[in-house]
């Protein structure tokens, strides 16, 4: 898909969003892009702090280094989008579709990814500290070196995911968390919460490996 530049109207909206962020809400306004089609749009470095993107379509868009902190983006479609180095901390991304998206080095600290679809996504080096990803689909995702410390992963599907060198310290799993075929070389899990148990060090890694091996 050919990458498109934003329209004048959208450029003005992004400028207003920047002013809103920089003035702590005293000037400008958070952007409203809900339910709109912005596929293949170049939004690299865009300031979308607190923006509403709910159920919008941003498939194949370029959002490298974009500021999406606290964005309301439940149900947003970001299939194949580029979000390298983007900041989605505390963003609401329930039921979002990020299948095949490139989130290399992105920040998703305390983001809500409940039932989000991230199959085949690139998340190498991403910071997902304390993310809530209950029921999320990470099947086949690249999570090498990712920070998943304190992540809520109950019912999440990580089958076939690459978790090489990932940090799962204090992560919360349950019986429905899928790990079959996941790669865990060098992964860290000094404490792992599984149902009502807390597993430490070797016990935690042994538990992960046993589930990865089916």
Beta bridge partner(s), residue 7: none
The pLDDT of residue 2: 84
Three-state DSSP class for 68?
Answer: coil
Beta carbons of 136 and 117 less than 8 angstroms apart: yes
The pLDDT of residue 74: 99
The mean pLDDT of the chain is: 97
Q: Is the pLDDT of residue 27 over 90?
A: yes
* pTM of structure: 0.95
The average pLDDT across 187-207 equals 91
Q: Is the pLDDT of residue 201 over 90?
A: no
Residue 202 banded pLDDT, cuts 50, 70, 90: confident
Q: What whole-number distance in Å separates Cα of residue 156 and Cα of residue 168?
A: 14
The pLDDT of residue 167: 98
Between 205 and 126, name the one with better pLDDT: 126
Closest CA to 164 of 137, 124, 193, 199: 124
| pLDDT tens, position by position, 44-84 | 999 999 999 999 999 999 999 999 999 999 999 999 999 99
Quote the DSSP letter at residue 27.
Answer: S
């Amino acid at each position: 898909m050919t990458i498109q530049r934003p329209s004048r109207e959208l450029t003005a909206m992004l400028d207003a969003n920047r002013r809103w962020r920089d003035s702590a809400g005293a000037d400008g306004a958070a952007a409203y892009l809900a339910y709109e089609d912005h596929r293949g749009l170049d939004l690299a470095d865009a300031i979308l702090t607190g923006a509403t993107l709910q159920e919008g379509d941003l498939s194949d868009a370029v959002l490298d280094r974009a500021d999406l902190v606290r964005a309301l983006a439940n149900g947003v479609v970001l299939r194949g989008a580029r979000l390298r180095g983007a900041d989605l901390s505390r963003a609401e991304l329930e039921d979002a579709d990020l299948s095949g998206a490139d989130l290399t080095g992105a920040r998703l600290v305390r983001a809500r990814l409940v039932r989000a679809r991230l199959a085949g996504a690139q998340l190498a080096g991403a910071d997902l500290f304390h993310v809530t990803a209950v029921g999320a689909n990470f099947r086949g995702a690249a999570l090498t070196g990712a920070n998943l410390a304190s992540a809520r992963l109950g019912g999440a599907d990580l089958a076939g995911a690459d978790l090489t060198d990932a940090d799962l310290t204090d992560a919360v799993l349950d019986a429905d968390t899928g790990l079959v075929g996941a790669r865990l070389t060098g992964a860290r899990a000094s404490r792992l919460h599984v149902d009502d148990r807390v597993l430490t060090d070797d016990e935690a890694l042994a538990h992960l490996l046993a589930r990865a091996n089916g």
